[in-house]
Amino acid sequence: MDFPLIAAIATPEGTGGIAIIRVSGEGSWALIEKIFQAKKPFSLKTAAGFRLHYGHIVDGGKVYDEVLLALMKENQSYTREEMAEIQCHGGFLAARRILELLLVHGAQLAQPGEFTKRAFFNGRIDLSQAEAVIETIRAMDEKDLDFSLTRLKGDKGRSFLKIRDDLVALIAETEAVIDFPEDGLDDTVANTIHQRVFALIEAMEREIRKAEEGKIYRQGIATAILGKTNVGKSSLMNALLSEERAIVTDIPGTTRDVIEDTVLLKGIPLKIRDTAGIRETEDPIEKIGVDKTREAMEKADLILFVTDQDDGFDAEEREIMADFGSKKVIVVCNKSDLILYDEDKMKRAAAPYPVVFLSAKEKQNLETLGETIQALFMAGEITQNSDEWVGNLRHKEAFLRAKSHLKEVLRSQKQHMPLDFQVIDLRAALETLGEIDGVTVSMEILDRIFSEFCIGK
Amino acid sequence: MEPYLAGKYDIIVVGGGHAGVEAALSSARLGLNTLLLSLSLDHIALMPCNPSIGGPAKGHVVREIDALGGQMGINIDATQIQMRLLNTSKGPAVQALRAQADKHDYQRQMTWTLENQENLDLKQAAVEDILTEGGRVTGVVCQNGIMFSGRAVILTTGTYLKSRIILGTLLTDAGPNNQPMAVKLSASLQNLGLELFRFKTGTPARVDKRSIDFSKTIEQPGSKEKLAFSYLTKTFDRPMVPCYSTYTNPETHKIIRDNLHLAPKYCGIIEGVGARYCPSIEDKVVRFADRDAHLLFLEPEGLYTNEIYVQGMSTGMPYEIQEKFMRTIAGLEQVKIMRPAYAIEYDGVVPTQLKPTLEYKDIEGLYGAGQINGTSGYEEAAGQGLMAGINASLKLLEREPFILKRSDGYLGVLIDDLVNKGTGEPYRLFTSRAEYRLLLRNDNADLRLTEMGRKIGLVSDARWGIFNEKREQMAAVKDWLTKARFRGKDENVAAYLKEKQSAAVNGSISGVELLKRPDIDIRDLAAIDHKAGLWHDEALKQEEIEVKYEGYLKKQREQVRRFDKTEGRLLPADLDYNDVRGLRIEAKEKLAAVAPYTVGQASRISGVSPADISVLLVYLTEKKGKENPHD
């Protein structure tokens, strides 16, 4: 069988520390080569299957995660195709980003059950499983349809339909000029293609950004580290920044100053704000002023409130805490290597906020902080919506590919290719959009030509 | 009284229009004893509508017919009075030939070809009944009390099945030009269990050339280049006659609007479904109300006639209104109508009842081609006639059927669309219907099809020789392009690049690399390299296209490769779709109705989703595994 190259996250989404991304199909290894930097360089051409390679996922000079890469040859893999599995350490958000990277580089997002389907068609699994395979196919078909239907309602639907409609109109005008050269049609459409394709690309980019996940995923969690003097705010900041797994990332759509101080903790991007301010907090808190504290607090999605009190909070702390309102807060009991906390008492005092006991200086228990953040932000938010996330990703991927077809149109124009060669990629873009709404192109262009142009003998 | 058995044939073709003549010629040429029956032997290969052949997609089809050994290309080349190459700047794949025909000469020469074809008899008779025995066709019965036995029958009835002419509110039961029509054949087809449809088409008025003031129109000359549809045509000495164009105006439109109540479509007389790409002038005026001018062409119908075809003026309005509104048009102020425009309705047979061989699924040996299948256009008809003639012959010769894929040619697209999707209006080919049109070009029809035609037995030695010479020359040109070096210091090269505003060459550059640049012409390169006249333009053009558009062609070939894979997966003929677990009911019904030959064909049936195809593949894999447990 001739299947396209596919990729998907194979492990259940959630709190697990390691996620596995699977790639299957001819060219899997070559695809991986584009984004994998091995610790000990080796040639993929001569690489043996069933080996683990240690390295990093890198793209455009940016390191995404530290990973283990497993390579499997056709006769060794589950799907009986060339396969690769990336085990990433950054948790599931890192896994998502790596998956997106694979899609950008040419893989298609696998349908649920698609690996199994391939294994079946390629003779890897028993015929007795045909029933299960059929069920999977039907289920994913329905799910896809449901998703398309719900998604195409409302604003998102409107902007999608607008893009589609503009593209259909452009193709119809172009095809009309080609198919009816003697009908006296206005053939200036050729001169408008550039500008219209450009506008379509921009509109698609807007959709791509929209399809990217909510603020947290896109920009990271705006985090403020607060606390009295000398409780170890700076050490916590430094511990987070220098933490081995903390990787500075570039997330599109965010401004530069935000990028610079985004760290990954258990796969969650934390955008630590006002770091300078916090670093300067060598002086007593009253000198900073209440205003400044407030400001930091207001902008934050998450407050890490650092303390070193071993039996509850003092008056000064309680005053700060009174302003937290509905913010998400984690109480960080620092210096746990030196202080013997009465944990129950602290938890009672901090309620309703969760408490983490750690030592920033010794970098002890930072993991727990990550897990707590994950629980606070991800539970009930992203993990429960993985269907939607996959749907979003599918749309985003379709837009990305449609966009690259449109870029081909511009390229063809630049090389003075005749009209026909521009239509080819316009049509390819439209077909790609069909993956979003399930509408196939077939008669649509002709329908449009006949309804909008006066043609005939 | 039992009809008189007037003859026994292998193949009987019912109808002598463009489909009928190709069907009859191909079967006779393949050695089958063939009979062509026509309502009137005066009207063989009649062009009842426009006096022209070709245009985008249609011209491609003529080239394909020719490459396979059909007659249309040869006949139009011999009788054309003007030829143009259209879309020259829009890309090689959409360039198309269009010829004006001397329609009388076209008929005469085609009739003469048929009359002199070995194994072919022409007879004038109206077929009333198709005879079958146990689901197999056995012959035809004619109106004049005679019958013919035949092992295969090809229906090419055009617009003559129970046809009715409409001129304003005047209805006449007649074929085009008030000819006799086939009265009873529709009922016979229905008795065979075939489902019929009713379509409508129309033709504009013919007017007297002497009554037109051409000084108020714009002359449309033909191209001066040597153009031909047929790969066999090597002489270019036809006379060239211009066409003319002019425009309607607000006054024209007012008359039409004021009299809309007299137009058949708007007063509810018409039953048949018309084509959207062929609207009447009243339709244009109503639907495009904001336009105050519509283009029309005045096309001569031949060298020895004063009749002029008024293209763009098709109408169902009464005679007096036609005259009135035409006389508002610049150049037509004094126009005299020779034949008024009219609309015509006719029966056809729903084409989804056909196999891709154009044989009816339920009646062995019965074939349909041309307008009876719901198409419009001489070229579409001729192409189907050729394919039906070939397939009926191959079947009687017990050879493999000849089915063209969508990636092989426009004929493949046409037939695949008809048998899988059917058509809700008269079907015309457009280049935009072809997914792989970059590869289905006017210039390479021979490279795509001539070898197939040779295997079938329709490609003559002369054609085969010309074809092989072209292939050899192409190889030589390719070799030259790869090896030739053009040096920047060569003054001819430098001067040429300067003239073309192309960057100067440092050192040297290969022919291939240089040709990839925009505006660089392969003939110029051949001249610079002292190779002028060594190769035919056709061979040069082929290689030029291959080099200049390499990336696009490669991409399209890759698409075709994927397409061919599913196209190559055959479905068992006896497959019971009720047995396939997991198929939706709609898909089961559609698949059972069309009974596709391949997985690819199945995927193009409307109502069958990609998931259904996956489920079908699971079923096939499972079945194969069970049948060949050690496979």
Contacts of B429 (CB under 8 A, 6+ apart): B57, B58, B60, B61, B377, B379, B380, B410, B413, B414
Q: Report the SS3 class of residue A77.
A: coil
Q: Chain A partners of B516 at a C-beta cutoff of 8 Å?
A: none
pLDDT value at residue B347: 96
Q: Chain A partners of B96 at a C-beta cutoff of 8 Å?
A: 181
Nearest to A221 by CA among A292, A273, A297: A273
HSE on the CB side for B70, CA within 13 Å? Answer: 36
Name the residue of chain A whose CA is nearest to B283's CA: A454
Given pLDDT bands bounded at 50, 70 and 90, which one contains residue B630? low
pLDDT value at residue A388: 58
Query: Can you say whether the dihedral through the CA atoms of A351, A353, A356, A361 is positive or negative?
Result: negative
HSE on the CB side for A344, CA within 13 Å? Answer: 0
Task: State whether residue B289 sits within 8 Å of chain A by CB.
Answer: no
Window 295-314 of B: residues touching A by CB (8 A cutoff) are 295, 297, 311-312, 314
Domains along chain A with CATH numbers:
6-110 (3.30.1360.120), 152-212+386-452 (1.20.120.430), 216-381 (3.40.50.300)
Tell me the percentage of chain A whose pLDDT exceeds 90: 19
Distance CA B439, CA B555 (A): 11
Distance CA B118, CA B460 (A): 15
Structure-model confidence comparison of residues B382 and A248, the more confident one: B382
Structure-model confidence comparison of residues B186 and B597, the more confident one: B186
Specify whether the CB–CB gap between B341 and B313 falls below 8 A.
Answer: yes
Q: What is the pLDDT of residues B573-583, one digit of tens each?
A: 888 998 888 88
Pairwise CB contact (< 8 Å): A419 & B91: yes
CA of B597 to nearest chain A CA: how many angstroms apart? 18
Q: At residue A347, does pLDDT exceed 90?
A: no
Specify whether the CB–CB gap between B90 and B51 falls below 8 A.
Answer: no
pLDDT value at residue A126: 73
Nearest to B590 by CA among B576, B566, B606: B606
Q: Which of A347-356, A370-379, B168-177 has the lowest mean pLDDT?
A: A370-379
CATH architecture of structural domain B461-558: Orthogonal Bundle (1.10)
Specify whether the CB–CB gap between B273 and B200 falls below 8 A.
Answer: yes
Window 148-207 of B: residues touching A by CB (8 A cutoff) are 204
Pairwise CB contact (< 8 Å): A134 & B312: no
In chain B, which segments carry CATH 1.10.10.1800?
461-558
Tell me the percentage of chain A whose pLDDT exceeds 70: 76
Distance CA B521, CA A341 (A): 85
Q: Chain B partners of A179 at a C-beta cutoff of 8 Å?
A: 56-57, 94, 430-432
CA of A127 to nearest chain B CA: how many angstroms apart? 6
Looking at the partner chain, which of A134, A179, A415 has a beta carbon nearest the beta carbon of B618?
A134
Average pLDDT of the residues in A250-278: 49
pLDDT value at residue B39: 95
Token pair of B282 as six digits: 């009243």
Which residues are bridge partners to B14 per DSSP?
Answer: B37, B155
**What are the two backbone dihedrals, phi and then psi, of residue B357, each rounded to the nearest 5 degrees?**
-85, 0
CA of A439 to nearest chain B CA: how many angstroms apart? 11
pLDDT value at residue A441: 62
Average pLDDT of the residues in B139-155: 96
Given pLDDT bands bounded at 50, 70 and 90, which one contains residue A11? confident
**What are the two backbone dihedrals, phi and then psi, of residue A392, each rounded to the nearest 5 degrees?**
-55, -45
Name the residue of chain B whose CA is nearest to A131's CA: B581
Q: Chain A partners of B87 at a C-beta cutoff of 8 Å?
A: 178, 181
CB pairs under 8 A between A and B: 125
Name the residue of chain B whose CA is nearest to A142's CA: B611
Q: What is the pLDDT of residues B197-247, one digit of tens each?
A: 999 998 999 999 999 999 999 999 999 999 999 999 999 999 999 999 999
Q: At residue B384, does pLDDT exceed 70?
A: yes
Looking at the partner chain, which of A120, A137, A178 has a beta carbon nearest the beta carbon of B87?
A178
Token pair of B198 as six digits: 């009713």
pLDDT value at residue B439: 97
Q: Report the SS3 class of residue B478.
A: helix
User: How far apart are the two ends of chain A, measured CA to CA in Å?
Assistant: 47
Q: Which of A117-126, A399-408, B327-336, B589-598 has the lowest mean pLDDT?
A: A117-126
pTM value is: 0.83
Task: State whether residue B63 sits within 8 Å of chain A by CB.
Answer: no
CA of B147 to nearest chain A CA: how many angstroms apart? 40
Count the Cβ atoms, other than its own, within 10 Å of residue B261: 8
Which CATH code is given to the segment(s) B4-50+104-201+346-432?
3.50.50.60
**What are the two backbone dihedrals, phi and then psi, of residue B258, each rounded to the nearest 5 degrees?**
-65, -20
Strands B337-339 and A6-9 come out as: unpaired
Task: State whether residue B630 sits within 8 Å of chain A by CB.
Answer: no
Q: Chain A partners of B98 at a C-beta cutoff of 8 Å?
A: 182
Structure-model confidence comparison of residues A185 and B366, the more confident one: B366
What strand order describes the sheet that includes A62-72?
A36-38, A51-59, A62-72, A83-88, A19-24, A6-9, A108-109
Given pLDDT bands bounded at 50, 70 and 90, which one contains residue A25? very high
| Sequence letter at residue A425 | D
Given pLDDT bands bounded at 50, 70 and 90, which one contains residue A260? very low
Pairwise CB contact (< 8 Å): A184 & B437: no
Name the residue of chain A whose CA is nearest to B246's CA: A184
What strand order describes the sheet that includes A302-307?
A262-265, A268-272, A221-227, A302-307, A328-333, A355-357
Q: Chain A partners of B588 at a C-beta cutoff of 8 Å?
A: none
pLDDT value at residue A251: 37
The DSSP element (H or E) to which B12 belongs, if any, is: strand B4-14
Q: At residue A342, does pLDDT exceed 80?
A: yes
Q: At residue B14, does pLDDT exceed 80?
A: yes
Contacts of B449 (CB under 8 A, 6+ apart): B64, B67, B68, B404, B408, B409
| Distances B615 to A132, A310, B362, B621 between C-alpha atoms, Å | 11, 65, 27, 10
Average pLDDT of the residues in B321-347: 96
Q: Chain A partners of B614 at a C-beta cutoff of 8 Å?
A: 117, 137
Whole-complex ipTM: 0.90
CA of B591 to nearest chain A CA: how many angstroms apart? 18
Q: At residue B85, does pLDDT exceed 50?
A: yes
Pairwise CB contact (< 8 Å): A418 & B626: no
Strands A262-265 and A221-227 come out as: unpaired
Which CATH code is given to the segment(s) B568-627?
1.10.150.570
In chain B, which segments carry CATH 3.50.50.60?
4-50+104-201+346-432
User: How far apart are the two ends of chain B, measured CA to CA in Å?
Assistant: 62
pLDDT value at residue A133: 77
Q: Please tell me what DSSP assigns to residue B422.
A: -
Distance CA B57, CA B61 (A): 6
Task: State whether residue B287 sits within 8 Å of chain A by CB.
Answer: yes
Q: Chain A partners of B275 at a C-beta cutoff of 8 Å?
A: 456
In chain B, which segments carry CATH 1.10.150.570?
568-627
Task: State whether residue B558 sits within 8 Å of chain A by CB.
Answer: no
**What are the two backbone dihedrals, phi and then psi, of residue A378, each rounded to the nearest 5 degrees?**
-95, -35
pLDDT value at residue B265: 74
Given pLDDT bands bounded at 50, 70 and 90, which one contains residue A3? confident
Average pLDDT of the residues in B525-548: 94
Window 562-601 of B: residues touching A by CB (8 A cutoff) are 562, 565, 581-582
Q: Chain A partners of B609 at a C-beta cutoff of 8 Å?
A: 141
Given pLDDT bands bounded at 50, 70 and 90, which one contains residue B486? very high
Which residues are bridge partners to B207 per DSSP?
Answer: B308, B337
**Mean pLDDT value across chain B:** 93
What is the SS3 assignment for B91-126?
CCCCCEEEEEECHHHHHHHHHHHHHCCCCEEEEECC
Looking at the partner chain, which of A415, A419, A424 has a beta carbon nearest the beta carbon of B518?
A415
Distance of CA B427 to the CA centre of its chain: 10
Nearest to B71 by CA among B30, B104, B24: B24
Task: State whether residue B315 sits within 8 Å of chain A by CB.
Answer: no
Contacts of A404 (CB under 8 A, 6+ apart): none
Given pLDDT bands bounded at 50, 70 and 90, which one contains residue A146? low
Distance CA A326, CA A324 (A): 6
The DSSP element (H or E) to which A88 belongs, if any, is: strand A83-88
Average pLDDT of the residues in A142-148: 64
Specify whether the CB–CB gap between B418 and B375 falls below 8 A.
Answer: yes
pLDDT value at residue A315: 81
Q: What is the pLDDT of residues B432-464, one digit of tens each?
A: 999 999 999 999 999 999 999 999 999 999 999
Distance CA B184, CA B440 (A): 40
**What are the two backbone dihedrals, phi and then psi, of residue B210, each rounded to the nearest 5 degrees?**
-70, -15
Q: Chain A partners of B314 at a C-beta cutoff of 8 Å?
A: 456-457
pLDDT value at residue B355: 95
Looking at the partner chain, which of B89, B295, B432 has a beta carbon nearest the beta carbon of A418?
B89
Tell me the residues of A at the B interface, defined by beta carbons under 8 Å apart: 2, 117, 120-121, 123, 127, 130-131, 133-135, 137-138, 140-141, 175, 177-184, 415-421, 424, 445-446, 449-451, 454-457
CA of B188 to nearest chain A CA: how many angstroms apart? 33
Q: What is the pLDDT of residues B25-43, one digit of tens each?
A: 999 999 999 999 999 999 9
HSE on the CB side for B574, CA within 13 Å? Answer: 0
